[in-house]
Amino acid sequence: MLFSLITKNYVPYITELNLVYKNAMNELLQGDSDDICSIILQRESNKSTEITSVLYDSQILGINIGEIQISMDPYKKQQFQILINCSSGNYDNKFNYRIDVTSFQCQLGEFYVDEGCQICDSKQGFYSVTYNTTKCSIFDTSKFENVTSNLIQLKVGYWRPQYDSDLVENCFKNQNWCLGGWSVNDDLCYPGHVGGLCEECDIQHKRLWKIFQGIQYQMSIMQYSIFLGFISLDFVMVQLFNKRSFTSVFITLKSLKNSNRLFLQLKLKTKFFLIVFKYSQGIMDLIQISKVYQLKCFQITYGYLQLFLRLILILMFLQTLLMQRVNLLTRWQSIQIAYQVKLQTFNLVILELQQ
């Protein structure tokens, strides 16, 4: 079993080790229940020691040699060989196999003693997070919340650089920046902070949705909550501006349809003149709207509302021009009707006078 820092758990290095019979076509052959294999451990000094004998297992259709236990010194450069001599009732010849073996050094959570590796007893408050150690470390109640044989759970306000180091530092600048827990390095930091003791700002967008950008110094929990509130408010405002822009487009299209119908009814020929509209400085000040949220840890500038405001102002301006044109056409139609009524009345008066 090997300890994995990725899964934070022990994973099997070799799941199973069986010896099976196969022919030249790589087909599995059935063995006899009286087949037996002798397991012999041979050292460099040509000293051989028989470990055990294993019988044929009909359930796995082979001989299980994976449960053999061998004691080796992991820090002595010695070469060991496992010799396997198998005999079968169906064959006169014996089958000999040789496996070269070596050992891993002591892992995290283990210490070297009596030419072997022993696991630190975390229930007694012992742990080991360094390699090649000869003793276990003792649980520190002032810094640790909990320990396993090879992991440390830090309290809030403490930081350590990596898993294979028991160097723990106090976040003296701001305790709230270091969240504690089973992680190390940047993963121990409050969102928006990275680096040693979590004192650096995440200006490179290493963590937390890549939204932090700015310069330096602290960002408290309340400031971070306010920042999220501002972002939510901006999202609602953008949605409202989108609805407003859609409404403006709808009104503009409807006004354009009405104006075209009036043009057809009145049969007016109009000339269009080039209108030069120059924004005043006051309107330009309104367009150049930006929101600046400056927290001590970062500064974020939002300018995306400028595009929406420009679009809305243009649509409102077009709507105003169209409404003015519709009003002008309506007034012109009223003047024509009044003129025709007065002309007919004048003609009637003249006819009566002639009579």
State pLDDT tens for residues 310-347: 677 777 777 676 676 666 666 666 666 666 655 666 56
- The answer to whether residue 2 scores a pLDDT higher than 90 is no
What was the pLDDT predicted at 80? Answer: 83
Q: What is the per-residue pLDDT for 124?
A: 92
Using the predicted structure, report yes or no on whether residue 179 has a pLDDT greater than 90.
Answer: yes
pTM for this model (two decimals): 0.52
Burial profile 151-187: b = 16 or more Cβ within 10 angstroms, e = fewer: bbebbebbbbeebeebebeebeebeebbbbebbbebe
Write out pLDDT tens, residues 237-250.
545 545 555 455 45
pLDDT over 70 for what percent of the chain? 59
Q: What is the pLDDT of residue 22?
A: 85
What's residue 296's pLDDT?
Answer: 39
Q: What is the pLDDT of residue 162?
A: 92
> At residue 292, what are phi and psi to the nearest 5 degrees?
-120, 115
Q: What is the mean pLDDT of residues 48-77?
A: 82
When the pLDDT of each residue in the chain is averaged and rounded to a whole number, the result is: 73
Q: Where are the alpha helices (DSSP H) in the chain?
A: 221-266, 281-287, 304-354
Residues 166-195: what's their mean pLDDT?
91
What is the tens place of the pLDDT at every residue in 87-128?
A: 877 676 778 888 888 888 888 999 999 888 999 999 999 999
Distance CA 224, CA 219 (A): 6
Cα atoms found within 13 Å of the Cα of residue 148, Cβ hemisphere only: 11
Could you tell me the maximum CA-CA distance found in the chain, to the nearest angstrom? 153
pLDDT digits (tens, 9 = 90+) for 192-218: 899 999 999 888 777 654 444 443 444
8 A C-beta contact, residue 263 and residue 329: yes
| More confident call, 136 vs 60 | 136
pLDDT at 20 over 80: yes
Q: Residue 258 — pLDDT band, cuts 50, 70, 90?
A: low
Whether pLDDT at 268 is above 50: no
Q: Which amino acid is at 156?
A: V
Rounded to an integer, what distance in angstroms lies between the CA atom of residue 145 and that of residue 139? Answer: 9
Are 130 and 106 in contact by the 8 Å Cβ rule? The answer is: no
What per-residue confidence (pLDDT) applies to 300? 40
241 touches 315 (CB < 8 A): no
Please give the pLDDT value at position 137: 93
Rounded to whole angstroms, the Cα distance separating 214 from 237 reads 24
Amino acid at 64: N
pLDDT of residue 82: 86
Q: Which pLDDT score, from 0 to 100, does residue 278 have? A: 42
* Paired tokens of 281: 């400085």
How far from chain centre, in Å, is Cα 156? 23
How distant, in Å, are the alpha carbons of 101, 146, 155, 187 from that of 177?
Answer: 48, 20, 12, 11
Model confidence at 163, pLDDT cuts 50, 70, 90, reads: very high
- pLDDT at position 122, please? 92
Q: How confident is the model at residue 271 (pLDDT cuts 50, 70, 90)?
A: very low
Side by side, the strands of the sheet bearing 36-42 are 48-55, 36-42, 80-87, 95-101
Q: In terms of pLDDT, which residue wins out, 224 or 346?
A: 346
